[in-house]
Amino acid sequence: MNYTSTRSILAASSAKAIASGIAPDGGLYTPTEIPALTLEDLVAMQSLSYSELAADVLARFMTDFTKEELLEYARLAYDSGRFLRPGTDSREAVGLRELHDGEHLLELYFGPTSAFKDMALQIMPRLLTASLKKLGEERGVCILVATSGDTGKAALEGFRDVEGTRIGVYFPDGGVSEIQRMQMETQEGSNVRVWAVQGNFDDCQTGVKNIFASADANAEIGANGIMLSSANSINWGRLAPQIVYYIWSYLELCKRGDISMGQQVNVCVPTGNFGNILAAYIARRMGMPFSKLICASNANNVLTDFIKTGVYDRRRTFYRTLSPSMDILISSNVERLLYYLTDGDTAYVAEKMQELKETGTYTLTGKALEELQSVFLSGCCDDEMTADTIRDVWEENHCLIDTHTAVAVRVLRDILPEYETIIASTASAYKFSDGVLAALTGDHADGFDAIDRLQHHTGSAVPAPLDSLRGRAVRFDTVIEKDRMESAAVDFCRSFDL
């Protein structure tokens, strides 16, 4: 299988795409063809375990890996006890829970950081180090990550003490939840570094992209025998593992008799950087019987407008919301969507991305817009509606959902109720305890105080990875200005030998 940049035609293997993270022209590596899945394939897949399914799906995209290699990585990621459903001894990596008629929550947050990012970031370090080996790369790799809260911690956990790698994470100072901050500040491992940046997530993301593009930074870091790469969803190695759980959830609905094989279902995803919903789109293009993909946003509703009108316009107020992992105005993976919507017109994608960079806006028209609107529906909801939904869902069936999942549930109920829909449930409610507690009780508290009160109020189990943060020493408390991001990375790559 061949990969290209979204901005110009070039030929790369999956190993090359994963090792590099971002393409040399600033575009995103993307497979030029999407492998097809037939109904017979799906029937055969019903007997596979999650790890076996992951190996099967990944093998279709990563033809320079053997299925045995991929199965080994999947088993190490998903079957080695790192996933645990709180309050039980179930070690299944994912779950599916019916909320209301037709509403199926795809529970993706049983991993070591209590958010869905673990689904990709537990396997991606293995894909990345194997890719480097396949390419004969002798340099070490430094992963730089911009995070709105969840990716950073998941990447730190995935890469900590992985030989030949080091990882640096930038998060917006004051822009993540108290728990998320504690998770990152207390990160263990000898190869990790964390910085709070005076700016928002878009500043962090742009800053990291600029470092990747900086000849100076690459030369200085390169002189230390280190290459840069990414663990954000601009890296194909992040996206591919996310396709698996959409297929899994569909098969699970069939097994449970909720739907018949081949029946169409919708998929609703709380969306920020457009990575998770893009994985659903790719699954759909493979042939999954997914009817509409519903893109749910919070008050930062740039994608809602884009899907409704074709106008992508980031020149708008940036809001800090109860769902901080979706507080994003520049959704990177829309770029991959454009590539597919235009049947691989890289010149067109490059032009639109240039317009976005220079003017803050671009407009999609013609066939690409038609295709976009035939597949996607969009909606948004504010913090008040998010809180109402958390309360509704708790009162309806004692299901505790986090603020991001609540956005998805609310948008779904507003625009397309009454169909079988898979809703991506992306984080443990305890990760956003302050917002969830306020929604349920009106009380305001922070950090462990919020966790304890939420636990007391609901009687539901606190995930072990969050509970165990109590009393951990802070290792990283550096706050830097945005224009110091590059020098921080350069210093980090100088500071110790691999």
Ligand X SMILES: *Cc1c(COP(=O)(O)O)cnc(C)c1O
Site string for ligand X, 357-386 (x = CB under 6 A): ------------------------------
Question: For residue 280, which amino acid is it?
Answer: A
Shorter beta-carbon distance to ligand X: residue 226 or 294:
294
State which residue, 274 or 448, has the beta carbon closest to ligand X. 274
Considering the complex, state which of residue 275 and residue 379 has its C-beta at the smaller distance from ligand X. Answer: 275
CB of 445 to ligand X, least distance (A): 20
- The number of residues that bind ligand X (CB under 6 A) is 16
Question: Taking CB under 6 A as the rule, which mask of x and - marks residues 252-291 in contact with ligand X?
Answer: ------------------xxxxxxx---------------
CA dist., res. 35 & res. 1, Å (int): 9
Catalytic residue among 16, 117, 153, 431: 117
| Binding positions for ligand X, 309-338, rule CB under 6 A | 325-326
CB-based contacts of 87, cutoff 8 Å, min separation 6: 460, 461
Residue 397 Cβ vs ligand X, minimum distance, rounded to whole Å: 21
Residues 201-260 that bind ligand X (CB under 6 A): 233
E-strand ranges in 59-120 read 95-100, 103-107
The length of the chain in residues reads 498
Residues 467-486 that bind ligand X (CB under 6 A): none
Task: Please check whether residue 464 is in contact with residue 112, taking contact to mean a CB–CB distance below 8 angstroms.
Answer: no
Q: Minimum distance from CB of 452 to ligand X (Å)?
A: 21
CB 200 within 8 A of CB 227: no
Name the minimum Å distance from CB 135 to ligand X. 27
Known catalytic residue at 357:
no
Which parts of 391-420 interact with ligand X (CB under 6 A)? 404
Q: Between residues 191 and 273, which has the closer beta carbon with respect to ligand X?
A: 273
The SS3 assignment for 142 reads strand
User: What are the tokens at 317?
Assistant: 């107020």
- Closest C-alpha among 246, 298, 194, 316 to residue 45: 246
DSSP-derived secondary structure for 313-361 = E--S-----S-GGG--SS-TTHHHHHHHHTTS-HHHHHHHHHHHHHHSE
**Three-class SS of 377-420:** EEEECCHHHHHHHHHHHHHHHCCCCCHHHHHHHHHHHHHCCCCC
The pattern of x and - marking residues 139 through 168 that bind ligand X according to CB under 6 A reads -----------x------------------
Whether the CB-CB separation of 76 and 68 falls below 8 Å is answered with no
Q: How far is the CB of 379 from ligand X (least distance, A)?
A: 15
Numbers of helices and strands, H then E, in the chain:
22, 15
Give the gyration radius of the chain's Cα atoms.
21
* Nearest distance from C-beta of residue 406 to ligand X, angstroms: 10
Contacts of ligand X in 420-449 (CB under 6 A): 426-427
For tokens 């079988």, what's the residue? 420
**Would you say 212 or 430 has its CB closer to ligand X?**
430
Amino acid at 310: G
**Minimum CB distance to ligand X smaller for 67 or for 85:** 85
Question: Please, which residue, 117 or 166, has the CB nearer to ligand X?
Answer: 117
129 makes contact with ligand X (CB under 6 A) = no
Taking the complex as a whole, the smallest distance from the CB of residue 239 to ligand X amounts, in Å, to 9
- Mark 101-120 with x for binding to ligand X (rule: CB under 6 A) and - for no binding: --------------x-x---
The runs of H, that is alpha helices, within 225-326 are 236-255, 275-286, 302-309
Nearer to ligand X, 59 or 108 (CB): 108
Sheet holding 140-146, edge to edge: 226-230, 140-146, 165-172, 192-198, 479-481
For the bound state, the minimum distance from the C-beta of residue 324 to ligand X, rounded and expressed in Å, comes to: 9
Return the active site residues. 117
**By the criterion CB under 6 A, which residues form the site for ligand X?**
115, 117, 150, 233, 270-276, 325-326, 404, 426-427
